[in-house]
Amino acid sequence: MNLSVEIDPGSGFCNGVVRAVRQAEEYLSREKRLYSLGAIVHNSLELERLKAKGLEILELEDVRRLHNETLLIRAHGEPPATYALAEANGIRIIDCTCPVVLQLQQKVKEVYQGMKDSAGQVVIFGKRGHAEVNGLVGQTEGTALVIGSLEEVERIDPARLVALFSQTTKDPDEYAQICRAVEQRCNHTVVFDTICRQVASRHKSLVAFARTHSIILFVSGKESSNGKVLFDLCLSENPRSRWLEDASQIDPSWFLEGDTVGVCGATSTPKWQLEETAAKVSSLFC
C-alpha cells in the first residue's frame, strides 16, 4: 500500500514538562530514588521509563507519612498547603512548577486578596480535581468556584464581582465562549487571559495539521486532560482521527491506499513515542 507519514512538528512535551523530566533525570543520575507528588507526566510509557531510573509516584496521603526525603513538585504545581506539609516533615522540594502556572498562581492570589473586602468571587474554568486547578484554588483559601462547562456558568452568583481565570491547558475557543457567557450573566466581570501561549498556538497549528492529512493518529495517555482536549479538536476537523496510547494499538484496517498519515500528540506525549508510532506505520506499509 502506498501512503505517506508525517509527524506534527508542534507536538510533544510542552516546555514545563520538558523541564520537569530533565530535572528528574538529572537528580536520578546522582541518586537511586526520587519521589514525585503525582504522575510527573500523564503518559504510562514515559512513566515506566522514569520509574526504571528510580522515580516513585506518591499521592498526598503518602506525603503525609514521608519525612526527610526529596520530593519533586511536577509542572502542574501545588497549593500552599502542600509546601507547608513538606516543611513540617523536613522534606526537600525540587519545585518543577511550570513558570506559566506559577505566574498564574501568583495572579490568582493577588486578585483574591484584593477582592476579599468587596466579597468578590474568583471563578476558574478548568477540570475539577485536576492538579493545576487544585493549586489555583489553594491560592484562594479554597474559596474559588470551579466551572468545567458552559452549562455551569449558571452556578456563578450574578450579583458578585467576578474575576475569571482559566486552567492554562484549556481550549482557547471554549474559554472565549465561557468568557462571553459570564460577562452576559454577571454585572461586573474581569476576565484574565491565562491560557498558555504555547498551548494556544498548538491548537491553531493542530487544526491545520488535522485538515491537511487524510487520517490522524493521536498519541496520548487516556488520563491526560490536555490529550482529551486536543484529540477532540482533531476529531472535529478530521473524522478519521484515532486516539491510541502506543504504537502497538495501530490497526492496519484503518488505512486506505494513498493515505497521508498525520502523527501528533498531547503536551504529555514524548517525541520518541511519536517517532515510534510513525515508524510502525512505515514498517507496515512503506
> The cell 487516556 sits on which residue?
222
CB–CB of 258/225 below 8 Å? no
78, 132, 174, 245: the active-site residue: 132
Closest CA to 165 of 99, 108, 229: 108
Give SS3 for 18: helix
Give SS3 for 74: coil
Burial class (CB within 10 angstroms; exposed 0-12, middle 13-18, buried 19+) of 20: buried
Q: Whole-angstrom Cα distance, residue 75 to residue 99?
A: 8
Would residue 132 show up in a list of annotated catalytic residues for this protein? yes
Q: Whole-angstrom Cα distance, residue 18 to residue 20?
A: 6
> The cell 502542600 sits on which residue?
82
For residue 257, how many C-alpha atoms fall within 13 Å in the half-sphere facing its CB?
1
Catalytic residues: 132
